[in-house]
Amino acid sequence: MLINKNTIIHGEKVVLVPYEAEHVPKYHSWMQSEELLQLTGSERLELEEEYANQISWRVDEKKCTFIVLDKNVYLTSKHDEIASMVGDVNLFLNDDDNVHSAEVEIMIAETDARGKGFGKEAVLMMMKFGIDILKLQEFTAKIGFSNTKSLGLFRKLGFEEVSKSDVFQETSLKLLVTEFLRNDLQKQTYELIKTTN
123: pLDDT strictly greater than 70? yes
Dump pLDDT digits (tens) for 126-175: 999 999 999 999 999 999 998 999 999 999 999 999 999 999 899 999 99
Dump pLDDT digits (tens) for 3-49: 898 899 999 999 999 999 999 999 999 999 998 888 888 899 999 99
Range of the domain at 86: 2-195
Number of domains the chain contains? 1
Going edge to edge, which strands form the sheet with 85-92?
160-165, 170-176, 138-144, 101-108, 85-92, 63-70, 14-18, 7-10, 193-195
| pLDDT, averaged across the chain | 92
pTM: 0.94
Q: Which CATH number covers residue 39? A: 3.40.630.30
pLDDT at position 39 is 81
